[in-house]
């Protein structure tokens, strides 16, 4: 199993990078440089790193909100397909789970709003609304547009996406925690299979990998819910 490396410490939270993370910027840089030239490869690598800076901000918001409820968060680990905040536990209280889950997408939407006018005047309207890797201004435009995309994608109602936890927190107010989890797990599997099929059909392997990750995470969440349910019944 590949190790992770500590990059920095923020708010007493270790920011770690999994060894597999470096595969993504290296591969993206290589293929873009090969097909479009060295400068485009550099822009592609820079974009990947900036996107993960936004993902880190997203995960930090989850972590800081969790600490407000007394939940320890010793680390955040960055993987090629995203970041994972290492919460010591997932709260069983619906209000707490909702508050922890919603702040991540809200961070991305808020960042996009804060960036809009500075980017509009700095990059110009034409560059901002034509994101690409053809120039540095258009590369920065990608950073703006990817934030609302990240926010919306994380609202997909499937574990381990924020949307899955938000939906469970809402359902758990009307039904048991276990039933709410099982509903979200089954819904998440539908999205996982859809992502897998679309990824394979269009040869968009990152989407297929995300689908596989969601499917496996759904099973993990299901096992954890049964564990908590059994523990509660024994007490």
For residues 5 and 12, is the Cβ–Cβ distance under 8 A? no
For residues 112 and 50, is the Cβ–Cβ distance under 8 A? no
For residues 13 and 63, is the Cβ–Cβ distance under 8 A? yes
126 is catalytic: no
Q: How far apart are the C-alpha atoms of 211 and 188, rounded to whole Å?
A: 9
In the set 59, 93, 126, 221, the catalytic residue is: 59
Active site residues: 59
């Amino acid at each position: 199993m590949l190790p992770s490396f500590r990059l920095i410490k923020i708010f007493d939270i270790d920011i770690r990078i999994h060894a597999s993370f470096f595969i993504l910027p290296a591969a993206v840089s290589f293929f873009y440089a090969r097909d479009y030239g060295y400068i485009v490869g550099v822009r592609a690598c820079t974009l990947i790193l900036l996107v993960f800076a936004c993902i880190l901000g997203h995960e930090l918001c989850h972590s800081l909100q969790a600490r407000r409820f007394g939940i320890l968060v010793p680390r955040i680990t960055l993987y090629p397909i995203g970041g994972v905040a290492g919460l010591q536990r997932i709260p069983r209280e619906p209000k707490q789970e909702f508050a922890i889950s919603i702040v991540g997408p809200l961070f991305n939407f808020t960042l996009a709003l804060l960036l809009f006018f500075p980017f509009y005047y700095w990059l110009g309207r034409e560059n901002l609304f034509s994101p690409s890797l053809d120039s540095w201004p258009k590369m920065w435009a990608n950073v703006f547009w990817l934030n609302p995309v990240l926010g919306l994608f994380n609202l997909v109602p499937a574990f381990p996406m924020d949307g899955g936890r938000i939906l469970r927190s809402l359902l758990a107010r009307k039904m048991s925690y276990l039933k709410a989890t099982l509903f979200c797990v089954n819904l998440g599997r539908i999205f996982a299979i859809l992502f897998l099929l679309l990824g394979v059909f269009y040869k968009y392997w990152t989407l297929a990998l995300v689908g596989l990750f969601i499917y496996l995470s759904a099973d993990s969440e299901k096992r954890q819910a049964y564990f908590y349910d059994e523990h509660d019944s024994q007490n």
